[in-house]
Structure 1
Amino acid sequence: MNKIADIYGEVTIQEGALWGANTQRSLENFPIGTEKMPKEFIEMLCELKRACAVANQELKAVEYDKTLAIIKAIDELLMQDFMQHFPLAIWQTGSGTQTNMNANEVIATLASRILGSKVHPNDDVNHGQSSNDVYPTAMHMMAVNMIAQDLIPVLDKVIITLTQLKRENTLSYKLGRTHFQDATPMTFAQEVSGWIVIFTDAKKQLEALLPFMRQLSIGGTAVGTGLNTIKGFDEQVVRALSQSLKQEFTVCENKFFAMGFKDAYVSVHGILNTLASNCLKLTNDIRFLSSGPQTGLQEIKLPANEAGSSIMPGKVNPTQAESLAMVCVRVIGNHQTITLANSHGNLQLNTYMPVMVYSMWQSIRLLSDGLDSFNTRCLAGIEVNTEKMMDNVTSSIMTATFLNEKLGYDTTAKIVKEAYQDKKTLKEVVVSNGHMTAEEFDQYFDYSKMIQAK
C-alpha cells in the first residue's frame, strides 16, 4: 500500500494502482451505485489527452520529451485492458473532474516510467486544459464515435432486411386496421414500407445533427475564456483528433455556450428518443400481427428462438420484440434525464455531465445491440401467411368502401349493415338489392384498385 500526502491530507492507495490521490479520494467519497464511466467514454478521453499532448508538442507548450512520453503512454494504455485503471462512479462531481484527474494521474504515472523522470498530471498531462472543457469535449467525441460506428451501421442492416421483406410481398394483399378494427385493403409491402422510413429517417436525422455534436469545447478551459492555454491550441487539438479518429471535428465558435449548454446532446438524443418511440410502436405491431398461433391475427410468423413458457409446452413468444420494447422504454426515460440535466446547468458550467454521458452511452449501446438482435433474430426470419391475409381481405365487409364511388356512402352503409347482420357477402347483398349484376360486381370489385389512388 502506498501513502500519499497533499494539502487535503493523506490517502492510502493499493499497491500497483496507476492512479493518484485525487482518484483515490473519489473512490472513497462516492461509493454510490455500480455504474462506472463507460469504456467508450474513457477511450475518447484518452484520445483527447493524446491530441492535447500533440498540440502542446507542436506549440512547444510542454517539454518535447514529456509530450513524447505522454503520447507513448496513452498508446500503450489503449492497447491493454485499460478500464482497470478507471474505477470511478458516474455519481461524482457534475463536471466529471475526478474522471479527468483519474486520466491525468494514470497517464502521468505511465509517462513518468517511460521517461524515467517526473511527468506531472496537472502541469504536463493537463496542460492548457480544464475538466470543464475536457469532459464536454470527450462526451461529444463518444457520442459521435458510437453513433457513426455502432448505431448507423445497424440501421443500415435493418433497412436492408425490411427492403427485402417489402420486395418479396408486393402482391401480398392484407387488410389494413385502424382503431383495432378492420379497415380497407393494402399490401404487406406497403405496411413494411412504413416501417422502413423509421430507420431511413433516423439515419438522415442523425447525419444532419452530428455536425453539431462534432463541435468541441476544448480550449475553453475553466469558463470559456481560454485562460492558461495558448492561442491555436484548440485548432491543433481538433486537427489531431480528426486525423486519428477519422471524423471531421470542429472548434466550437462560442465556448461559453459549449460549456454552459448541452443542446447537441438534447437534440441528438431527441432523435434516439423518436427512434425508440417508433420502434416501440413497431414491436407492438409485429406482436399483434403474429398473435396466435391459432386464435390471433396469425398474419406473420416469427422465428421460434426458444421456449416461451415454463408450464405451457411448445409455446413460442415474441421475445425479441419484447426485449426491444424494454430497450425503447429505457431510451425514452434517458431522454427525460438528458433534457432535465441540460436545463439545470448553472451559469458558466453544466454540472450534470456524467449522468448525461451515461444516459447517452446507454441509449446508443442498447439501441445498437437491441436493433441488431431484433434484426437478426426476428425481422430476418419473418414468415408471411399470405393465405390468412387474403382470407381476411375477402371476408371483410370494410372492402365495401370501394363501392362509395359507384353507389354513394349512404347506400354502401346499408349494404355493409345488411351483410354484417345477415352474415352475407357484399356481393350477395349488392346483387340481391339490384345495384349490380354478379358479372358487373366481379368486374368492378378489383382489390388491386383498392390499394392505390385512382
Structure 2
Amino acid sequence: MTFRTEKDSLGPRKVPADAYYGVQTVRALENFQITGIPISLFPRLVQAIACVKKAAAYANMELGLLDEERGNAIIQAAREVRSGKFNDQFPVDVIQGGAGTSVNMNANEVICNRALEIMGHEKGEYQYLHPNNHVNLSQSTNDVYPTSLKIALTWSCADLFKELDLLVESFEAKGEEFADVLKMGRTQLQDAVPMTLGQEFAAYAVTIHEDISRLHEILPFLTESNMGATAIGTGINTVEGYAEAVCRFLSAITDLEITPAVNLVEATNDTGAFVLVSGMLKRISVKLSKVCNDLRLLSSGPHTGLNEINLPAMQPGSSIMPAKVNPVIPEAVNQVCYQVIGNDLTVTMAAEGGQLELNVFEPIIAFNLFQSVDMLARASLMLRKRCVDGITANRERCAELVHRSVGAVTALSPVIGYEAAASIAKESDKTGRPVLDLVVERGLLSRDEAEKMLDPLAMTRPSAR
C-alpha cells in the first residue's frame, strides 16, 4: 500500500494514497475502535450528510461566500456521495467522542478530495480546496450532525412505515378470513366470553395501525433544523440570511420541509425530538411484542396447549425432541422488541446527559435510533412473510373450547341476575352439565329463550334493543 502524508493541528499522519478520506478520519480510526460498525453501514446518514454539504455549498455560493468553481465541485462530489458511490470511504466507527466531529470531518474530507479530482487536482492538495475552509464553510459539526441525523431518521422511518403498513394489511386479511371462527376470549388467562378469531386478529391490525399514526404525528419534529447555528447557536462564522438559505436549499434537495429553528441556541443543545421518536419506537415494540406473545400462546401445544391457531412450521425446533416445532418467528420478534426497548433507555440517558450548549452524546443516540428503526422494519417483514401470512385456524378446537366453557353464562346475567348466573356457572363447572340444561331445569328461562341468549355468535356483538 502506498501513502500520502497529510497533517492537521496535531501533526502529520500517513493516509492511504487511494483513500478519499484524510488525516482526521485516520485519527478517528486510531482512536475509536468500539463497535466495529462503520457509519457506511448506515447509508441514510451518509446520504443525509451529503445533502447538508450540498445545500451549504449552494447557500454559500448564493451569498457570495464561495466561488462557483469550488462550489460546483463540492456540489457534484456531494451528489456522488449521496448516490452511494463512496460508501466504502466512510469507515469511522458509529460511536465516537467529539459529538460527531469525526463523522462530519470524514464527510468533509471525502467530498473535498473528490471535488479536488473534479477540479483537476490530486487528493490532499488542500491549497486548492480545503475540507474545513470550503466544504465546511458556514458550518459546524454541531449543526451538521444533528440535522443530518434528523433527515436520515425521517428517511429510515419511511422504510419502517412501509413494513408496518404491510403487517397491518396481513392482520386485517386474517381478521376477514377468521371472521366466522367462534372461540373463547380470555382475561387473565381465564375463560371470559365468546368472540371470533377474526375479531382478535382485527384488533392486532388496529393496535399496530394506531402506532403508525402516532409516529407520523411526531416526525415533523425532525424537520426543524439548527443549520446556521454553527458552534453553539450564535451563528458565528455565518452571515445574515444563511440559516434561511441553507434550509431552503436543503428542503429542495431532500423533498422534506426543513425549517430553521426559532432559537438556534436551544435547538443546538436540545435532543428532545430524538427522545420523542425513540419513545414511539419503544411503544411500537411493546405492543408488537405483546401480539407475538399472543400468537405463541394461541398456538401452544399442539396437544397440551390452547392450539387454536397453527403457525407456519419454519424449522425443526429441538436437537433432542423429534418432530418438535417452535414458534421461532414470534420469538425472534420478541427479542428485537426487547432490544429496541433497551435502546430507548440509552437514548434517554444520552439526551439527559447533555450539558450546557451542546449534547456530545448524539453518536450513541444515532446508533441506537438507526438500529431500532432498522431492526423493527426487518422484524415486521419477517413476522408478516414467515408467520402471519401462513397462520391457519383450528376451527374444531376453537368450537370445542367454546362448547366446554361456562363463560357463556355471562350473557344470562342481565336477565336472571348475577347471583343466579354465578350459581349455574359453579354447578356446570362442578358437574359438567350444560348451562342451557341447568337454566331450563331451574325454570329461569324457557329452552327457546335460553338457546337464543346462549347462542355464542350472538355474544360476539351488542344485542339489539
Q: Normalising TM by the smaller chain, what interval?
A: over 0.9
Query: How far did 1:125 drift?
Result: 0.2
Q: Which amino acid aligns with 2:155?
A: N
Query: How far did 1:299 drift?
Result: 0.8
Question: What does residue 77 of structure 1 align with?
Answer: 81
TM-score, normalization: structure 2? Answer: 0.94
> Does 2:40 align with 1:31?
no
> How is 1:261-410 mapped onto 2 (pairs within 5 angstroms)?
261-410=270-419
Equivalent residue of 2:18, what SS? coil
The C-alpha deviation readout for 1:327-355, integer Å capped at 9, x for no partner, is 10000001111111111110000110000
Contact kept? 1:219, 1:233, Cα under 8 Å: yes
Equivalent residue of 2:234, what SS? coil
Equivalent residue of 1:450, what SS? helix
Query: How far did 1:5 drift?
Result: 3.1
Which is further off, 285-294 or 225-234? 225-234
Q: Which amino acid aligns with 1:13?
A: V
Q: Which amino acid aligns with 1:76?
A: E
> Does 2:12 align with 1:10?
yes
Which is further off, 246-255 or 102-111? 246-255
Query: How far did 1:293 drift?
Result: 1.8
Q: Which amino acid aligns with 1:139?
A: L
In 2, Cα distance between equivalents of 1:143 and 1:6: 32
Q: Which amino acid aligns with 2:309?
A: I
In 1, Cα distance between equivalents of 2:192 and 2:393: 20
In 1, Cα distance between equivalents of 2:84 and 2:401: 59
> Does 2:68 align with 1:64?
yes
In 1, Cα distance between equivalents of 2:276 and 2:453: 51
1:244 is aligned, of 250, 253, 258, to 253
In 1, Cα distance between equivalents of 2:99 and 2:290: 36
The C-alpha deviation readout for 1:383-432, integer Å capped at 9, x for no partner, is 11222112211210111111111211111111111111112111232233
Query: How far did 1:84 drift?
Result: 1.7
Question: What does residue 47 of structure 1 align with?
Answer: 51
In 1, Cα distance between equivalents of 2:357 and 2:452: 74
Query: How far did 1:320 drift?
Result: 1.1
* Structure 2, unpaired ranges of 5+: 122-127
Structure 1 segments (4+ residues) deviating >4 Å: none
Question: What does residue 125 of structure 1 align with?
Answer: 135
Contact kept? 1:184, 1:399, Cα under 8 Å: yes
Contact kept? 1:20, 1:106, Cα under 8 Å: yes
In 1, Cα distance between equivalents of 2:35 and 2:381: 29
Which is further off, 244-253 or 391-400? 244-253
Which is further off, 348-357 or 245-254? 245-254
Question: What does residue 228 of structure 1 align with?
Answer: 237
In 1, Cα distance between equivalents of 2:98 and 2:105: 14
Contact kept? 2:95, 2:367, Cα under 8 Å: no
Equivalent residue of 1:248, what SS? coil
Structural RMSD (CA): 1.5
Q: Which amino acid aligns with 2:139?
A: Q
> Does 2:188 align with 1:186?
no
Which is further off, 244-253 or 345-354? 244-253
> Does 2:424 align with 1:422?
no
Query: How far did 1:247 drift?
Result: 1.7
The C-alpha deviation readout for 1:124-162, integer Å capped at 9, x for no partner, is 0000000011011011011111112x0111121112111
Equivalent residue of 1:185, what SS? strand
Contact kept? 1:198, 1:275, Cα under 8 Å: no
In 2, Cα distance between equivalents of 1:204 and 1:399: 36
Contact kept? 2:225, 2:261, Cα under 8 Å: yes
Contact kept? 2:104, 2:141, Cα under 8 Å: yes
Query: How far did 1:81 drift?
Result: 4.4
Contact kept? 2:268, 2:358, Cα under 8 Å: yes
The C-alpha deviation readout for 1:351-385, integer Å capped at 9, x for no partner, is 10000000110010001111011111111111112
In 2, Cα distance between equivalents of 1:372 and 1:208: 23
* Structure 1, unpaired ranges of 5+: none
Query: How far did 1:442 drift?
Result: 1.8
Question: What does residue 148 of structure 2 align with?
Answer: 138
Contact kept? 2:47, 2:83, Cα under 8 Å: no
Distance change >3 Å, CA 283–CA 430, structure 1 → 2 = same
Aligned residues: 453
Contact kept? 2:317, 2:325, Cα under 8 Å: yes
Contact kept? 1:94, 1:353, Cα under 8 Å: no
Equivalent residue of 2:460, what SS? coil
Contact kept? 2:174, 2:198, Cα under 8 Å: yes
Equivalent residue of 1:3, what SS? strand
Which is further off, 204-213 or 277-286? 204-213
In 1, Cα distance between equivalents of 2:11 and 2:258: 41
In 2, Cα distance between equivalents of 1:40 and 1:311: 44
The C-alpha deviation readout for 1:171-197, integer Å capped at 9, x for no partner, is 221101111111111112221222112
Which is further off, 185-194 or 408-417? 185-194
In 1, Cα distance between equivalents of 2:109 and 2:63: 23
2:267 is aligned, of 248, 258, 263, to 258
Contact kept? 1:41, 1:138, Cα under 8 Å: yes
In 1, Cα distance between equivalents of 2:35 and 2:369: 18
Query: How far did 1:94 drift?
Result: 4.2
Question: What does residue 90 of structure 2 align with?
Answer: 86
Question: What does residue 227 of structure 2 align with?
Answer: 218
In 2, Cα distance between equivalents of 1:91 and 1:214: 24
Question: What does residue 125 of structure 2 align with?
Answer: none
Contact kept? 2:43, 2:84, Cα under 8 Å: no
Which is further off, 221-230 or 243-252? 243-252
Q: Which amino acid aligns with 1:66?
A: R
In 2, Cα distance between equivalents of 1:102 and 1:80: 15
Equivalent residue of 1:411, what SS? helix
